[in-house]
Chains A and B, each alone.
Chain A
Amino acid sequence: MQSTNTLLKRIVRSSVLPLAAQHGMKKDLFPLSRTLSLSFCLKQDKSCSPSEKLDLDAWKKVMKSGLQEEVSEMVSEHKELSSLAGAREILEMWRLAGRSVPENITEDQLKGFMECPSKSAQKKYLKFLYLKELYKKNDKRKMDKKRERRLETEERACKTDGTKRNSFICLWTNCMDRAYSWRVAQSMIFGQPLVFDMSYEKDMSVREVANTVRQLVLSEGCNRRSVDPFHIHFCNLKNDSLYQKEFIKHYREAWGKLLVTATEQCYTEIFPKDKLIYLTADSPKVMKTFDHNKIYIVGSMVDRSIKTGVSLARAKRLGLETAALPLEKYLLWNTGAKNLTLDQMMHILLTLKDTGDWKKALEFVPKRKYTGFVSKPVHELKKTLSLINTLKLGKAQEEVRKQFAKNYSKKLMQK
């Protein structure tokens, strides 16, 4: 942009186009400027054919003109680039070249970029920042629009002058908060404990830890709003750990007042071992019913790189009982890993606790991961399966799938 400005300035300064400068760069003036530069070019360069009216190399003149002085300025300014500034410049060029690079980048992000071990890691990191920026911008735009609309309605409301009568004073959120807190406080005394095992920090990247804490915050929120909340324990949560820092980032001063038990102790020190059940997708044992007398443990871990057996290894080391959700039994699994996010686990466990209904509870498994519930009659199931496959794969593979569905139904019959 800066270069364009200097170019414009230069055009203004040059006596050739005083008229254009006075009127601003309007569209109707362009034919004029073209002929001008055409004659300019003819003087210097005889190579372009006079028979053609169009000067094909005129753009080069435009690009080259008005830059000489700027170049000399630049050279004096940027003799020695520090590595950070150098990286910033490279990023700017990438952005100009149309790659997914954020417009604004902070010093920390720039350092993060330079610490990336490979070119593809750099690319990924930049794309992440770029998308983040994009979402932020969109959100801001939406907020602005909303505010505008609200102002408009308020104006209208002022005009009509509505004096509403209501027996409640409008304090909904406050009251709700208090009611929720009361329930959670009760659960802290009488409720069933639910443990989040916070000992996976070394198995995760910084971004994964941030994601984990975000999921934990969501789980805490949905627990608070439930009818019969769990008594949440964050065990093995070390002071000054990355987890803790992220928590404080999310909750700010509310972190100290949160109605959960956060402790550096391990769950084996707090609860009797025979009551603990570690929930992990790798467990060979499948959970049949929700036991109200047991204490379930969920590993607070996001593994984007699918490290199998990490939490199972932990349970084995401590000699705890393990269990996996009966996903295979109730759902016709389609794609995706069997590990669920922490807030999904929370929803499922809360529903199980309230109703004991697997079908209701497993509604919280993302829909993209399964094609249907197995509780349906088998022939109906087969129909959906083949339909999906004809849509997805075309006819050739349909036969194979049909065979699969047949075998599957056979398996079900045996059970």
Chain B
Amino acid sequence: IQPPEKPLQSEEWNRLKESFQSPEIFEEVMFNSMVRCNSPIDVAKSLLTHVAKRNGDITYNLLLKYLALCVQQGQTSEIRDVYDIMKIRFKILEGGAYNLIIRGLSNSDQWRMALTLLEEVKKIMVPSRTNYESCITAASRHKEMKLAFGLYREMLAKDLVPTLDVLHTLFDFSRGMKGAELQKELFGILLYLRENQIYPHKTFMRSIKLWFESIPGGNWRGHLTNITDSGQCPVCNHQLEDSDLTEEEYNNLRERIIRDVIHGTDTFRKTSPQEFEAFQTFVENRLPFDIVIDGLNVSHIKPRRMQCENLSDAVNCLAKENVRLLVLGRKHMLMNSSNWRQEIMKEMQNKADFFFAENISEDDAFLLYATLQSGQHCKFVTRDFLRDHKACLSDSLTRHLFRKWQRGHQISKKMFLSVFIQQPACRYDCVVQTTGDTWHIPYKDHFEEKYSYQVPKKWLCIQQK
């Protein structure tokens, strides 16, 4: 329904209500459409007056919708009035009302009131992240960076994840401001991005660049660049951190893979204890491998060709100069069939070690184990993103480790003119990094780039002259 353009008298509202198909929800529907059409606030007031006169009361629901309308139009005094009314009417308010009021007030000149409201929210529940973000934005808009960062730290301490927008705002409003303390805080945000493997988008990156360049007496200069496979920054010739894990991280990851991915809740779900033991002894006797191949995955690269031909292409392409190969497969590959020719299989077994798992076992788990057992230099070949295995890992820290290791050690292959082109694993680590007088920040071109397996190729290089 279309809300009226001018305030109406009670009789007129009554008439409208009677003409509406379900009169009992008339007010709610009307208010919803007012919010949608951004109707003048006077119209809403006249409806409220009408309701108040008829019932002697206005339901919380309607007040909330009116509040939403006020917030939408930035009517600060109305927001305060509604808040006062709610306060005397109800013992406590719920999160939705606080969200609206805090958002409304933080955009006005009475933003300090939003802070006191935030304190009030804390008494009854954990404030939502929008609560914090409104307050942080308000504080930084008024150049109270200390306050803003205080709130930001408080938010992190409560395990709320800030949006990129709010981090962006912090950089935007700190531009040109002095102070070692402030600098430390902003570096802290960059390290937060590093730890959580978050990549800023283009506009955010720009504001980081501008902030660096605006530091008084800092002499920072930023350049946009692409970093080549070698991992050397073309602007400052700095070599980026390599993607190897530390000894401790590596061992940790290996143990977690065995515990969470291979065994999980029940070893029988992915393999069986006997089979896993057999595989372990098989691997121990032949260590170390240089490349581990997921045979079945590779054999499906070209659907028109025989599967064993695909596999033998891959093995031939990779088998050179004393490279030790391990191919993982399943027992059905040993049965002579139209897809698996035994003479080709025999030939391949001269070039590489083969392990055949049971047909109902998961070979991916074996792939991970064999690669990790061989050491840091060992790579693996599969087109699988291994997301389901990553999901088996229980904490986010190990998952980040896994992703980093995967980026550095997975070779995926692309078909090009029926020749295997090896797509090299990333040799450098794609995270925000610093040496003190340089910063390298990878960024996404678009805001919505979401593939977790893709790492950005574009970088922001910042150096101090």
Q: Do A and B come from one complex?
A: yes
Query: A-side interface residues toward B, CB under 8 Å?
Result: 3-4, 7-8, 11, 25, 27, 30-31, 33-34, 37, 52-60, 62-64, 67-68, 71, 74, 78, 86, 89-90, 93-94, 96-98, 203, 284, 308-310, 312-314, 316-317
* A67 CA to B360 CA, complexed, in Å: 71
State whether the Cβ of B465 lies closer than 8 Å to any Cβ in chain A: no
Contacts of A67 in B (CB 8 A): 88-89
State whether the Cβ of B231 lies closer than 8 Å to any Cβ in chain A: no
Q: Is B10's CB under 8 angstroms from A58's CB?
A: no
Contacts of B81 in A (CB 8 A): 60
Q: Is B268's CB under 8 angstroms from A58's CB?
A: no
Query: B-side interface residues toward A, CB under 8 Å?
Result: 7, 9-10, 28, 42, 45-46, 48-49, 51-61, 64, 81, 84-85, 88-94, 96-97, 124-125, 265-270, 272, 359-360
* A314 CA to B265 CA, complexed, in Å: 12
Q: Is A56's CB under 8 angstroms from B56's CB?
A: no
Q: Is B124's CB under 8 angstroms from A312's CB?
A: no
Q: Is A62's CB under 8 angstroms from B60's CB?
A: no
- Find the B residue at minimum CB distance from A318: B268
Known: A56-B45, A78-B91. A62 touches B53 (CB 8 A): yes
Known contacts A56-B49, A59-B45, A64-B84; 8 additional CB pairs below 8 A are A8-B56, A56-B42, A59-B48, A71-B88, A90-B92, A93-B92, A98-B61, A313-B268
* A123 CA to B423 CA, complexed, in Å: 46
Closest 10 CB pairs of A and B: A313-B268, A96-B60, A59-B52, A93-B94, A56-B45, A62-B52, A59-B48, A313-B269, A309-B269, A59-B49
Q: Is B53's CB under 8 angstroms from A34's CB?
A: yes
Among A8, A37, A78, A310, the residue within 8 A (CB) of B269 is A310
Contacts of A3 in B (CB 8 A): 57, 89
Nearest chain B CB to A284's CB is how many angstroms away?
5
- Find the B residue at minimum CB distance from A31: B10
Contacts of A57 in B (CB 8 A): 45, 49
Q: Is B55's CB under 8 angstroms from A97's CB?
A: no
Q: Is B124's CB under 8 angstroms from A90's CB?
A: yes
Contacts of A30 in B (CB 8 A): 10, 53-54
- Find the B residue at minimum CB distance from A98: B61
Contacts of A98 in B (CB 8 A): 28, 61, 64
* A289 CA to B281 CA, complexed, in Å: 41
List 19 contacting pairs A-B, 8 Å CB cutoff, sorted by A: A4-B57, A27-B54, A30-B53, A34-B53, A53-B9, A54-B9, A58-B49, A59-B52, A64-B88, A86-B124, A90-B125, A97-B60, A97-B64, A98-B64, A308-B269, A309-B270, A312-B269, A312-B360, A314-B268
Contacts of A52 in B (CB 8 A): 7
* A64 CA to B82 CA, complexed, in Å: 10
Nearest chain A CB to B185's CB is how many angstroms away?
28
Q: Is A316's CB under 8 angstroms from B272's CB?
A: yes
Among B52, B59, B96, B266, the residue within 8 A (CB) of A310 is B266
Among B49, B61, B64, the residue within 8 A (CB) of A54 is B49
Known: A93-B94, A310-B269, A316-B272. A284 touches B359 (CB 8 A): yes
